Structure 1
Amino acid sequence: MDVLIISGGVHTSEMKNKTVANWIERQAESVEVMATVCTGVFLLANAVQSLSCKVTTHWEDIPELRRLFGQLDVLEGVRWVDEGGIVSSGGISAGIDMSLHLVSRLHSDKLAEKTARQMEFTWTKNV
């Protein structure tokens, strides 16, 4: 697997699921890019305790992410953050922007723009 995208949602009970955490940890050792949408970053940080990079999440969850995972540099006011092997996004629509960024990064801007157009989606790039 080249890219793993961990979706968000209500994450608190899933963080206690050792099977999920162990699977994410194993995948993190081999995939090129681990990406998270919204609160999916909680599952990644929980599974990969050594994770220490810039990330973002949904604006409502930023204080909790900072409290639980102080080693992360949690950014506010950005749609997504690309740290090379770790890419994270804010809420759901920011996750679409992040996904288009991944298409651009892994293939081309042209394909990302074509994909956004096909979806009738206005792609918001980070500035």
Structure 2
Amino acid sequence: MNLGILLFDEVEVLDFAGPFEVFSICSGSEQQKLFNVFTVSEQPEVTARNGLQVKSHYTLDTAPHIDILVIPGGLGAETVEMYNPRLRQWLLQRHAQAQLTFSICTGAFILAEAGLLNGLKATTHWMDIARLTQEYPQIEVLSDVKYVDEGKIITAAGISSGINASLYIVAKLHGLEIAKQTAKRMEYDAAFVDAE
């Protein structure tokens, strides 16, 4: 499956690097990789939080088909990218074609502003729960949860919870045992929910 992770200026590093690690090392019984993981951004290079410079695999124009679309958060998500009309158009098109769209932290604001969370339950970073609730009353915002599964859209709370949600998605798609093996390889202690 093609898994594309959106990058932008001021993206939170662990928001994208955590899921990147989970899905990149996830492998099946014969050690074949289960996901083709790549990054996508509007510009070829971005400056993430705290000055980390990252060169993307693809731009919005050159990215191949995406089965799982990952939308991380960070200051750039909640102040600039949620209002970016070009990104919104791209997101709506890619979401329609994808099997799953997955946001981490304030990436939920990008989905919310595009109308993709209307009528759904969702979550975000604990510091932004009140804002998401106030600005988007059509969303049932949940607090004190690591992630919320609404079928085609999964939202995760802040930063490291993106790893929990990524492992949950692995379990949902490929079974709990593969998710546990992935977590063990990462030396990550995760509380799994059986994906049935």
1:25 deviates by 1.1
Please tell me whether Structure 1 or Structure 2 has the larger radius of gyration of its CA atoms.
2
Contact conserved, 1:54 with 1:72, CA < 8 A, in 2? yes
Percent of aligned pairs with the same amino acid: 39
| TM-score normalized with structure 2 length | 0.62
Match of 1:78 in 2: 145
1:117 aligns with 2:190: no
Q: How does 1:45-64 map to 2 (within 5 A)?
A: 45-48=112-115, 51-64=118-131
Whole-Å Cα distance in 2 between the matches of residues 70 and 96 of structure 1? 27
> Does 2:161 align with 1:88?
no
- Secondary structure of the 1:34 match is strand
State whether residues 68 and 100 of structure 2, in contact with CA within 8 Å, keep that contact through their aligned partners in structure 1. yes
- Tell which deviates more after alignment, 101-110 or 13-22: 13-22
Q: Which runs of 5+ in 1 are unaligned?
A: none
1:33 corresponds to 2:93: no
Of 72, 77, 80, which residue of structure 2 is paired with 1:7?
72
Instruction: Give distance in 1, aligned partners of 2:191 and 2:107.
Output: 20
Q: Deviation at 1:27?
A: 1.3
In 2, Cα distance between equivalents of 1:22 and 1:13: 15
Following superposition, the deviation at residue 50 of structure 1 comes to 6.6
1:20 pairs with 2:81: no
Q: Which residue is equivalent to 2:44? A: none
Query: TM-score when scaled to structure 1?
Result: 0.93
Structure 1 pair 80–50 and aligned structure 2 pair: CA distance change class (3 A) = closer
- Cα deviation per residue 1:79-110 (whole Å; 9 max; x = unaligned)? 10111111011011111000000000011101
Given the alignment, which residue of 160, 172, 192 partners 1:105?
Answer: 172
Give, as a single letter, the amino acid of the residue that structure 1 aligns with 2:73: G
Asked whether the equivalents of residues 123 and 148 of structure 2 are also in contact (C-alpha less than 8 Å), the reply is yes
Greater share of helix residues, 1 or 2? Answer: 1
Q: Alignment length, in residue pairs?
A: 127
